[in-house]
Structure 1
């Protein structure tokens, strides 16, 4: 289950790397197609079709956004308005935090279910993307998958909060895998 702890990072990193590579290849192709330095290269490059690059990159960014929201819930960086809740005394504050987390889980569960039904209905059609001709149900699968993962993360945070009283806090100065070292001690 350790893999599930960082599922969002793996998905986002893969999609970001793939989108960067696809964009790089498309831009390189665009500019190299205008060069007539090497005989025959320009003619060959013009025959290659990279019009699909923009479409697939857009789809990858949509998927990144859905899984990025789940990452935000898990790490405590998702948008939340808790100014008034933090002013309450501890028992009331804790109750409202649990209610808020459960409302988040309920909302994302509903969105996931509506998305699932939409994708299921779409899978019985011939609807496909314009350039890649991907079945649109594959493209829209980001909605139920990302929403259900976000729902799971809300429930996970709520469970941890109920058991420990701790909410995830994102430390912008911390880099995963790099331990804090005493800088003065390492100079000696």
Structure 2
């Protein structure tokens, strides 16, 4: 139940961030070319939305099997060595993203103490940078999920084009 809810929340966040960024960009460009007046904060907000989308999108990629992986050498190994190196790669992915999440928390706390705000939106920068520890934590969790699944079934998630949910 929790996993399904998290899956839907993840997908909803990615779609929302992407949709908002697209709409804001379209409106800003349309206004600039029709009235000559732009929206001064549009570019900044669009950049932040795409950063958050990318952080959560990377976690989605791990969960669904569409995250970039280089396995051309691993596939040439024996099945037992393939399993070992796949397990190692997933473990290192979980560890690395957990470290990024922890460092991200430390950075967010530092940014909160500075009181710094974004140039155009005047939003607290710590809120904007919160995407790093949140997205990295989710990505680490997804690596662990895939690792547990791989250990049980010896299968990695595979993206099935044209289907919304491959399960």
Same fold (TM over 0.5): yes
Provide structure 1 residue ranges, at least 5 long, that are not aligned to the other structure: 35-45, 178-188
Corresponding position of 1:180: none
Following superposition, which runs of at least 4 residues in structure 1 exceed 4 angstroms of deviation?
none
Q: C-alpha displacement at 1:72, in angstroms? A: 1.0
Residue 68 of structure 1 is aligned with which of 49, 54, 57? 57
Q: Does structure 1 residue 134 correspond to structure 2 residue 123? A: yes
- Note the 1:57-96 alignment, pairs <5 A: 57-96=46-85
Report how many residues are paired: 163
Q: CA deviation at 1:59?
A: 0.5
Residue aligned with 2:102, SS: helix
How far 1:18 moved relative to its partner? 0.9
TM-score of the superposed pair, with normalisation by structure 2: 0.91
Taking structure 1 as the reference length, the TM-score comes to 0.81
- Could you tell me how far 1:24 is from its partner in structure 2? 2.2
Match of 2:88 in 1: 99
Other-structure match for 2:163: 175
Q: Indicate the residue corresponding to 2:42 in structure 1.
A: 53
**Unpaired runs of at least 5, structure 2:** none
CA RMSD of aligned residues (A): 1.5
Aligned to 1:60, the other structure's residue is in SS state: helix
In our comparison, the structure showing a higher alpha carbon Rg is 1
Query: Per-residue displacement from partner, 1:91-142 (whole Å, max 9, x unpaired)?
Result: 2211211111010000000011001100011111121110101111111111
**Distance in 1 between residues matched to 2:95 and 2:137, nearest whole Å:** 10
